[in-house]
A and B are shown apart, each in its own frame.
Chain A
Amino acid sequence: MSDLFHSYDHGRFYDEMFAGPGRPRPHYQRLFDRFGRMDSMSDLLERQRTADQTFVNRGVTFTVYSDTAGTEKIFPFDLIPRIVPAHEWAVLEAGLRQRMQALNLFLADIYSEQRILREGVVPAEMVNTSKHFRREMMGFAMPRGLFVHINGTDLIRDESGAYRVLEDNLRTPSGVSYVLENRQVMKRVFPNLLRDYRVRPVETYANDLLNLLLHLAPEHVPEPTVVLLTPGVYNSAYFEHSFLARQMGIEIVEGSDLVVENDKVYMRRSNGLAPVHVIYRRLDDDFLDPTVFRPDSLLGVPGLVAAYRKGNVALCNPIGTGVADDKAMYYYVPKMIKFYLGQDALLSNIETFLSSDPKDLKYILENLPKLVVKSVNEAGGYGMLVGPHSTAAQIAEFRDKIIANPRNFIAQPTIGLSRCPSVCDTAIEGRHIDLRPYILNGESIKIMPGGLTRVALRKGSLVVNSSQGGGSKDTWVLADDVLAQEQTQSGPEKLIV
Chain B
Amino acid sequence: MLSRVANLVYWMARQLERAENTARIVDVNAQLVLDLQSRQAADDPRSWEPLVFVAGNDEKFFELYGKTVSERAVVEFMLFDRRNSSSVISCITQARENARCIRDLLAAEVWETLNTFYLKLKDDDFARYAQLGSSEYLNRVKAQIQLFYGVAESMMPRSDEWWFFELGRYLERADNTSRILDVKYYMLLPEVAAVGTALDMIQWGSVLRSCSAFEAFRRSRRGQLNLERVVDFLVRDELFPRSILYSVAEIEQALHRIVNGNEHLIGNPATLAAVSLRQDLESTDSPAVIADGLHEFLDTIQKRIDEIHGAVQATFIDYPTAKAKVLA
Q: Indicate whether A270 sits within 8 Å of B324 (C-beta atoms), given known contacts A56-B119, A256-B4, A257-B4.
A: no
Q: For B104, what are the chain A residues with a Cβ–Cβ distance below 8 Å?
A: 242-243, 245-246, 252
Are A253 and B2 in contact, with the CB atoms below 8 A? yes
Find out whether the CB atom of A270 lies under 8 angstroms from the CB atom of B116: no
Give Cα A366–Cα B316 distance, bound, in whole angstroms. Answer: 64
B325 on interface, CB distance cutoff 8 Å: yes
**Given contacts A59-B111, A59-B115, A268-B2, A273 and B103 within 8 Å (CB-CB):** no
Contacts of A251 in B (CB 8 A): 2
Question: Cβ of A56: which chain B residues have Cβ within 8 Å of it?
Answer: 119
Pick from B3, B115, B116: contact of A257, CB below 8 A. Answer: B3
Known contacts A245-B104, A246-B104; is-contact A270 B160 (Cβ 8 Å): yes
CA distance A151 to B64 in the complex (A): 53
Chain B residues near A243 (CB, 8 Å)? 103-104
- Is B192 in contact with chain A by the CB < 8 A criterion? no
Scan residues 260-299 of chain B and give those whose CB is less than 8 A from a CB of chain A. 262, 264-265
- Residues in A whose Cβ lies below 8 Å from that of B103: 59, 239, 242-243, 246
Residues on A with C-beta less than 8 A from B3 are 257, 268-270
Please name all residues of chain B whose beta carbon is closer than 8 Å to the beta carbon of A57 when the two chains form the complex.
112, 115-116
Cβ-defined contact, A273 with B324, below 8 A: yes
Tell me, in angstroms, the Cα distance from A272 to B2 when the chains sit together.
Answer: 9
B218 CB → nearest A CB, Å:
41
Are A273 and B327 in touch, CB under 8 angstroms? yes
Chain A residues whose C-beta falls within 8 Å of the C-beta of B111 in the assembled complex: 59
Complex Cα distance, B242 from A22, in Å, reads 69
B contact residues around A59 at 8 Å (CB): 100, 103, 111-112, 115
Judge if A267 is at the interface, Cβ distance under 8 Å: yes
A268-B321 contact, Cβ under 8 Å, with A253-B2, A257-B4, A273-B326: yes
With CB as the reference atom, state the residue of chain A lying closest to B2.
A257
Complex: A85 Cα to B91 Cα, angstroms: 51
Question: Given A56-B119, A57-B116, do A271 and B164 touch, yes or no (CB 8 Å)?
Answer: no
Do B316 and A273 touch (CB < 8 A)?
no
The interface residues of chain A lying within 8 Å CB-to-CB of B112 are 57-59
C-alpha spacing A245/B321, complex, angstroms: 25
A379 sits at the interface (CB 8 A): no
Decide if B327 touches A270 in the complex (CB within 8 Å).
no
Which chain B positions have C-beta within 8 A of A266?
326
Complex CA–CA separation, A256 to B160 (angstroms) = 20
- B6: Cβ under 8 A from any A Cβ: yes
Within 8 A of B (CB), among A210-243: 233, 238-239, 242-243
Residues in chain A near residue B327, CB distance under 8 A: 269, 271-275
Most buried by A among B6, B104, B115, B316: B104
- How long is the Cα–Cα vector from A471 to B105 in the complex, in angstroms? 28
CA distance A275 to B325 in the complex (A): 11
Q: Is A254 an interface residue (CB 8 A)?
A: yes
CB of B198 within 8 Å of the partner chain: no
Q: How far is the CB of B324 from chain A (nearest CB, A)?
A: 5
Tell me the complex Cα distance, A82–B160, Å: 44
Interface size on A, residues (CB 8 A): 29
A261 at the B interface (CB under 8 A): yes
Chain B residue with minimal CB distance to A228?
B104
Task: Say yes or no: is A107 at the interface (Cβ < 8 Å to chain B).
Answer: no
B202 located at the interface, meaning its Cβ lies under 8 Å from any Cβ of chain A in the complex: no
Asked whether any CB of chain A lies closer than 8 Å to the CB of B258, the reply is yes
- Is A328 an interface residue when CB atoms closer than 8 A count as contact? no
Contact of B100 among A233, A257, A261, A272 (CB under 8 A): A233
| Cα(A273)–Cα(B322), bound, Å | 10
B57 → chain A, closest Cβ, in Å?
Answer: 24
B119 to chain A, nearest CB (A): 7
B101 CB within 8 Å of chain A? yes
Question: Chain A 269-290 against B: per-residue CB contact (8 Å), 1 yes, 0 no?
Answer: 1111111000000000000000
Asked if residues A273 and B119 are in contact (CB atoms below 8 Å), the reply is no
Chain B stretch 68-122: residues in CB contact (< 8 A) with chain A: 97, 100-101, 103-105, 108, 111-112, 115-116, 119
Q: What B residues does A273 contact at CB under 8 A?
A: 321, 324-327
B227 within 8 A of A: no
Query: B33 on the interface (CB 8 Å rule)?
Result: no
Is A199 interfacial (CB 8 A cutoff)? no
Contact pick for A270, options B97, B108, B119, B317, CB 8 Å:
B317
Tell me whether B324 and A272 are in contact (CB under 8 A).
yes
Contact B321 A259 (CB under 8 A): yes
Interface status of B1 (Cβ within 8 A of chain A): yes
Decide: B2 and A271 in contact? CB cutoff 8 A.
no
Q: How far is the CB of A347 from chain B (nearest CB, A)?
A: 35
CA distance A233 to B164 in the complex (A): 21
Cβ B2 vs Cβ A270 within 8 A: yes
Q: Which 4 pairs between the two chains have the least Cβ-Cβ distance?
A: A272-B325, A246-B104, A270-B316, A245-B104
Which A residues contact B (CB, under 8 angstroms)?
Answer: 56-59, 233, 238-239, 242-243, 245-246, 251-254, 256-257, 259, 261, 266-275
> Can you name 26 A-B pairs with beta carbons within 8 Å?
A57-B112, A57-B115, A58-B108, A58-B112, A59-B100, A59-B103, A233-B101, A238-B100, A242-B101, A243-B103, A254-B4, A256-B4, A257-B2, A259-B321, A261-B321, A266-B326, A269-B1, A269-B2, A270-B164, A270-B317, A271-B258, A272-B262, A272-B264, A272-B326, A273-B321, A273-B324
